[in-house]
Structure 1
Amino acid sequence: MRLFALLAVLALAVTGCSGSDPARPGVLSVGLREPATLLPADLADQAGRLVTGALWTPLADYDAASGKVTPRAAASIESTDRVHWTVKLRPATFHDGTPVTAQSYVDTWRVVAAAQWVSSPVLTKLLRAREITATAPDTIALTLDRPSGQVPALLSAPGLVPLPASVLASRDWDGFAKAPVGNGPYRLDGGWHPGAGGTLKRVGAAKAEEIDLRVGEPSAQYDAVKAGTLDLATEVPGARHEAMHGDFADRHATWARPEAGYLAFPVTNPPFADATVRHGFALGVDRAALEAGPLAYQADPAKAMLPPADAPGDRTGTCRPCSFDAAAGKALLKQAAFPGGATVYFGPGTEAWTRTLAVGLHKALDVSVTAQALPNAGPPTGPSTVDVKLATASPYELLSGLAAQSGYTDEVFRQNLALADAAATPQEAGELYRLAENQLLRDLPVAPLWSGHGHAVWGPRVHDVTTTPFTGPVLAAIGVS
């Protein structure tokens, strides 16, 4: 028996498969949570986007702050009138060896538009193309239903990457998510193993030859990086938030995530039809308590309506309704003769922080505030919490969605959004989006509460860690010595 045990240990040492030693030359070990799926058009979680960001190359990268477009799979995305757009593709192949063509995108987008996936509204509600065709193997032609300068931002969405013809024919989405085939710098070798992870092999422009993806809990992964048995942990639990700065002084990163929380008011319901009442409730929210409590330092208190991951340029003005001022909040409710008492409704995934929010509002405003799940039928009669997970870097997606959430139908706001969508330059669009944002902050159909951020820590042999809002750490850019 002792001989068999010794042989087993020797075998693990030879193959390097023990999972406890990351120091294999050219191999980067990465800790992450279990992805919700690896079907790119139907995911919104950080772990899923981390993996699919390595398996696929999007048409372009889009920076919301500057409006800068960096072509990736596309050689160019151009238009002369903002109605007719042409996308030229670079030569590329899928990991199964088949070519990536303009028809690959057209067929994929047709499927995505018809599905009920996370990224489906990008095509049906935001892009709104009347026609999308492949005019040549390397050329996509789009004709919109109105002029829009947001096309580069929308086509950069990570959910609009192409799928190979094999899965478009079979429609076996569950099977494909276990063994995805992309067009990116890494391929998944041997499929995905739920609860364990998978192995990425380099096939394109990337630094690490191989990436060992390990599924686990963030606290254990944090400790593994400290112990030297894991190279990179892509999430830092709240309990380690402060220790991170000392444990990994120059080996940690924080980035803005495309996620934010809001309190949406039913503006057509009499108790909340007065903006004074809505501002009173906004001033009664202790956002720092949410950050340190149920949000576990995975978010920042909101400082604007648009979160940093979605904001065009720097905001110059202050956000008064983002402040915590209980005395001012109570005074506003008294001024508006608020009848007292409210129910705050929550949906899936927001119950914990909504209950904390309700308790805080009750204490700060001295009115009865309770928390309750959203009704199965009919609109809520009180404010409701909203956890927004963005599919694109375009402010249009968020601002239009927030207005719809609360039933806000102001015509000037609608016109500013339409003008921003049609704007000829990112700078012009950014100014118009800020006007629309400022109007929301004045009328306050929704109150901004928090914006999400991510953390990563890494070991001494890791270098060149960069992050983006949608993928977090960019795996292809990370080097390992």
Structure 2
Amino acid sequence: MRSRLLAVLAVAVIALGGCSAQEPARPGALAVGLVEPGTLLPADVDDPAGLLVTGALWTPLADYDPVSGRVTPRAAASITSPDRVTWTVKLRAGGRFHDGSPVTAKSYVDTWRTIAGEHWAATPVLTESLRAKDISAPDDATIRITLDRPANQVPAWLSAPGLAPLPASVLASGDWTGFARHPVGNGPFRLDGDWQPGTGGTLRRVPPSAGHPDEVDLRVGDPVEQYDAVRDGDLDLTTSVPGERHDAMHADFTDRHLMWALPRAGYLVFPASATRFADATVRHSLALGADRGALANGPLAHQADPAKALLPPSSAPGERTGTCRPCTFDPAAAQSLLGQARFTGPVPLYSDLGGDGWTRTLASGLARTLGVPVTAKQRPSAGPVDGPSTVELKLVSPSPADVLGELAELAGYSDAGFTGDLAAAEAAATPQEAGQLYRVAENQALRDLPAIPLWTGHGHAVWGPRVHDVRATPFGGVDLAELTG
């Protein structure tokens, strides 16, 4: 989302002291390993572990598939609009929070007003993407949204997991810290007791469902130990595979492992202040000189794939084939372009704290490939920079408009054709037409290259033989409600 760049792959992990020493899951329960979530307040979650847990505790209004544009209603019965300006959300009957209170249209309206006033991860979905002139609840089952312009991305934005409703009790108290210790959602599981940092918590299915576990024990621990515990039969499933176990995964779990796209991606962004890099030929040279495989297999520890396009898989409309030209590693072409531009360096690469590891690897690789000085530097706390910056985007909605818009804002990129294509895509009458126009805008940005795509994140899971039906989505991770075993 715009204005929410975070640099990083550093996740604080609290070790269990050996997963193999843990008690096995109780009958009717599954034991699932994860790292410590950053928070369990859904509107502020931006990490895979947090998305996993809140995805079990809440049911979103809808699921949105950016490839097809298909909307699958969940807590909503329908999301419709006659003109793409006024939108009506009809809620399914009987929705309740785990504390027994009803989930009404007012629950959503009051929650969204609170989110809009906070500085949470999901705030830009409302304030920068949706930009509604008015949101109201004419009755308990109806949400009415009036926009300031036609926009077909409303179902994508409303599917953002951070827009989950909060009970009136916490909205009244504002005790977000206390609520994150014991979140109360509207989803298929409730949390039994408080979340215990460093240990985890127990999810209980509401109501029970035949063929599915009634209980899921979430166990916080070290990913290496959890991987070994699943392999040794002491844990049913773990939701991360560390780099040092990545190669072994295919042999240890031949048909019991899964990888899926995460809503995170890394870029090299050229701000308008970096005037020495205004020539697109120089930017294309840097793009072709970037060894993305070295990043994915090195400092990113097999938790990412080399980028194949500007839009990451979690937000890309339509089926994708091949790799974009600026996404390929071609040292000879990179050197040739740099010579044509008569660019001799130096190249400063700026990064935020946390992204300095992969920035240093990128800098040293570019220096070897291009034969010019390339130096990784810490981004100053204020003021413009004179070179490109590495950026990690952590996305909170599947809309391609958010990715393209944020990259343009970070770079100060204002090409008229690109801006017009974005506006036309947002106002398009059908998802198919919108997808084509977002691709046109993406291709324009790839020609001008205000931002170089470098990598896209992916998640992992491995599981034991008694677990079945393991599926995952970018914005929810492993679907705990669908597991059987």
Alignment TM-score, normalising by the size of structure 1? 0.95
**C-alpha distance in 2 between matches for 1:238 and 1:169:** 44
Q: Contact (CA 8 Å) 2:108, 2:166: kept in 1 or not?
A: yes
What is aligned with 2:85? 83
Q: Deviations over 1:98-152 (max 9, x none)?
A: 0000000000000000110000000000001000000100100000000011101
Alpha-carbon deviation of 1:339?
3.7
Q: Contact (CA 8 Å) 2:273, 2:385: kept in 1 or not?
A: no
**C-alpha distance in 1 between matches for 2:484 and 2:385:** 50
**C-alpha distance in 2 between matches for 1:139 and 1:249:** 47
Q: Contact (CA 8 Å) 2:66, 2:318: kept in 1 or not?
A: yes
Q: Does 1:266 align with 2:268?
A: no
Q: Does 1:164 align with 2:167?
A: yes
Alpha-carbon deviation of 1:233?
0.6
What is aligned with 1:477? 482
**C-alpha distance in 2 between matches for 1:237 and 1:252:** 13
Superposition map of 1:187-226 within 5 A: 187-204=190-207, 207-226=212-231
Q: Contact (CA 8 Å) 2:25, 2:217: kept in 1 or not?
A: no
**C-alpha distance in 2 between matches for 1:164 and 1:269:** 47
**C-alpha distance in 1 between matches for 2:255 and 2:214:** 24
* 1:190 aligned counterpart, secondary structure: strand
Q: Does 1:142 align with 2:174?
A: no
What is aligned with 1:250? 255
AA aligned to 1:349 is G
Alpha-carbon deviation of 1:317?
5.9
Alpha-carbon deviation of 1:208?
1.4
Q: Contact (CA 8 Å) 1:403, 1:409: kept in 2 or not?
A: yes
Q: Given the alignment, which residue of 31, 34, 38 partners 1:32? A: 34
**C-alpha distance in 2 between matches for 1:84 and 1:187:** 34
**C-alpha distance in 2 between matches for 1:275 and 1:266:** 13
Q: Deviations over 1:190-239 (max 9, x none)?
A: 11000000000111475210000000011000000011110001000011
**C-alpha distance in 2 between matches for 1:79 and 1:386:** 36
Superposition map of 1:25-104 within 5 A: 25-90=27-92, 91-104=94-107
Q: Contact (CA 8 Å) 1:466, 1:477: kept in 2 or not?
A: yes
Q: Given the alignment, which residue of 301, 309, 314 partners 1:309? A: 314
Query: Which runs of 5 or more residues in structure 2 are unaligned?
Result: 1-19
What is aligned with 1:327? 332
Alpha-carbon deviation of 1:322?
0.6
Q: Deviations over 1:388-441 (max 9, x none)?
A: 110100000000000111111111101111111111111011000000100111
Please say which structure displays the higher CA radius of gyration. 1
Q: Deviations over 1:79-103 (max 9, x none)?
A: 0011000000012110111000000
Relative distance call for 1:19 and 1:204 in structure 2 (3 A) is farther
Q: Deviations over 1:160-213 (max 9, x none)?
A: 000000100000000000000000010000110000000001114752100000
Superposition map of 1:335-350 within 5 A: 335-350=340-355
Q: Contact (CA 8 Å) 2:32, 2:236: kept in 1 or not?
A: yes
AA aligned to 1:36 is G
Q: Contact (CA 8 Å) 2:280, 2:449: kept in 1 or not?
A: yes
* 2:314 aligned counterpart, secondary structure: helix
What is aligned with 1:184? 187
Q: Contact (CA 8 Å) 2:86, 2:147: kept in 1 or not?
A: yes
AA aligned to 1:33 is V
Alpha-carbon deviation of 1:266?
2.5
**C-alpha distance in 2 between matches for 1:108 and 1:230:** 37
What is aligned with 2:10? none
Alpha-carbon deviation of 1:269?
3.0
Superposition map of 1:370-385 within 5 A: 370-385=375-390
* 1:452 aligned counterpart, secondary structure: strand
* 1:259 aligned counterpart, secondary structure: strand
* 1:105 aligned counterpart, secondary structure: helix
What is aligned with 1:5? none
Q: Contact (CA 8 Å) 1:346, 1:371: kept in 2 or not?
A: yes
Alignment TM-score, normalising by the size of structure 2? 0.94
Task: Tell me which of the two structures has the higher relative contact order, counting C-alpha pairs closer than 8 angstroms and 6 or more residues apart.
Answer: 2
**C-alpha distance in 2 between matches for 1:60 and 1:428:** 21
AA aligned to 1:287 is R
**C-alpha distance in 2 between matches for 1:119 and 1:78:** 22
Q: Contact (CA 8 Å) 1:271, 1:338: kept in 2 or not?
A: no
Q: Deviations over 1:339-384 (max 9, x none)?
A: 4101100013211100111111111110000011111221211010
What is aligned with 2:154? 151
Relative distance call for 1:143 and 1:205 in structure 2 (3 A) is farther
**C-alpha distance in 2 between matches for 1:328 and 1:259:** 29
Deviant stretches of 4+, over 4 Å = none
Q: Does 1:412 align with 2:414?
A: no
What is aligned with 1:423? 428
Q: Contact (CA 8 Å) 1:41, 1:112: kept in 2 or not?
A: yes
Q: Deviations over 1:5-32 (max 9, x none)?
A: xxxxxxxxxxxxx973435321010000
Q: Does 1:293 align with 2:302?
A: no
- Structure 1 window deviating more from structure 2 (65-74 vs 316-325): it is 316-325
Q: Does 1:20 align with 2:22?
A: yes
Determine what percentage of the aligned residue pairs are the same residue. 65
Q: Does 1:125 align with 2:128?
A: yes
**C-alpha distance in 1 between matches for 2:206 and 2:424:** 43
AA aligned to 2:83 is D
- Structure 1 window deviating more from structure 2 (327-336 vs 432-441): it is 327-336
Q: Contact (CA 8 Å) 1:205, 1:476: kept in 2 or not?
A: no
**C-alpha distance in 2 between matches for 1:46 and 1:335:** 43
* 1:87 aligned counterpart, secondary structure: strand
Q: Contact (CA 8 Å) 2:31, 2:218: kept in 1 or not?
A: yes
Task: Report the number of matched residues.
Answer: 463
Q: Does 1:175 align with 2:178?
A: yes
AA aligned to 1:34 is E
Q: Given the alignment, which residue of 218, 227, 235 partners 1:230? A: 235
Q: CA RMSD in A?
A: 1.2
**C-alpha distance in 1 between matches for 2:254 and 2:122:** 37
* 1:62 aligned counterpart, secondary structure: strand
* 1:146 aligned counterpart, secondary structure: coil
- Structure 1 window deviating more from structure 2 (269-278 vs 312-321): it is 312-321
Relative distance call for 1:152 and 1:19 in structure 2 (3 A) is farther
